[in-house]
Amino acid sequence: MTVGYVHGYSQQETGRLGDQADTLARLLHQGTAYPAGSRVLEVGCGVGAQTVHLVASSPGARIVAVDIAEDSLARARARLAAQAPAARVEWVLGDVLDLPFPDGSFDHLFVCFVLEHLTDPHRALTGLRRLLRPGGTLTVIEGDHGTAVFHPDSAHARAAIHCLVDLQAMAGGDALIGRRVRPLLSAAGYRDVVVQPRTVYVDGARPDLVEGFIRNTFTAMVASMGPDALAAGLTTPDEWRRGIADLHRTAEPDGTFHYTFFKAVAVNPGT
């Protein structure tokens, strides 16, 4: 059921996810700090881009990080060893739909940029609830490419972004899932679901985000999908080039960029 990871597993992709996490960490992780001794499971840790921030914000928590890709886990482990050598994380290989933990094993679950890749996020969320003790919390963070709004506006850039939405849909996922997080969590039996928009707005006054978000995160992510978009017949080389160029254009001093992430916290009411 877990679909192919649409972003691929290249070294460049690893770097992109690292840049993204570092620039956006404060925005996304604000409010997430687990008590010392609490049992926390990060689901779909990938290359550890969020894990480094989890251990920084919750130094006393007992963090288990799981991913379906052995190579990603190795990179995550190396990243933690380099960036947070004192942190103790337990690394587990496993599929989000069939995780090797007894019921109620965790006080908190953390799921960031994972649901967008799943064919059946409802089934995944329902299964994850089993791993939470009653009263435990689930935190979900997802993007939504429909919130990407920029200046100068460009039909070419919008078309390039839409290619990502189409590719994600073809792979069984949903790059517009941010807007659906609350109904998904409610339908999966979670209660007290609180969703906050975490909006990134970038203009010439924020050169760190111009570099870290517009160039190194969002445009790099779109650009990395060029071969797949071309192979799927969703664009042409010329159209794609213009789209990427127009996204880079928004990083000029008079450009602006807007994108909203959706962060949800919800409670497992128990059976």
Nearer of residues 182 and 241 to a second copy, judged by Cβ: 182
Which two structure tokens, joined as six digits, stand for 123? 């089934």
Nearest CA among 198, 224, 221, 215 for reference residue 112: 198
Q: Name the residues that contact a second copy, by CB under 8 A.
A: 144, 146-147, 149-151, 153, 176, 178-180, 182-183, 186-187, 193-197, 199, 201, 203-205, 254-256, 258, 260, 262
Give the nearest distance from C-beta 201 to a second copy in angstroms. Answer: 4
User: What are the residues whose beta carbons fall under 8 Å from the beta carbon of 153, sequence distance 6 or more?
Assistant: none
Nearer of residues 80 and 214 to a second copy, judged by Cβ: 214
Report the distance separating Cα 232 and Cα 229, nearest Å.
5
Nearer of residues 130 and 151 to a second copy, judged by Cβ: 151
Give the nearest distance from C-beta 239 to a second copy in angstroms. Answer: 21
Give the nearest distance from C-beta 182 to a second copy in angstroms. Answer: 5
Give the nearest distance from C-beta 80 to a second copy in angstroms. Answer: 33
Report the distance separating Cα 267 and Cα 56, nearest Å.
23
DSSP secondary structure code for residue 178 in this structure = G
Task: Describe the chain by its helix, strand, coil percentages, rounded to 5.
Answer: 45, 25, 30
Nearer of residues 90 and 153 to a second copy, judged by Cβ: 153
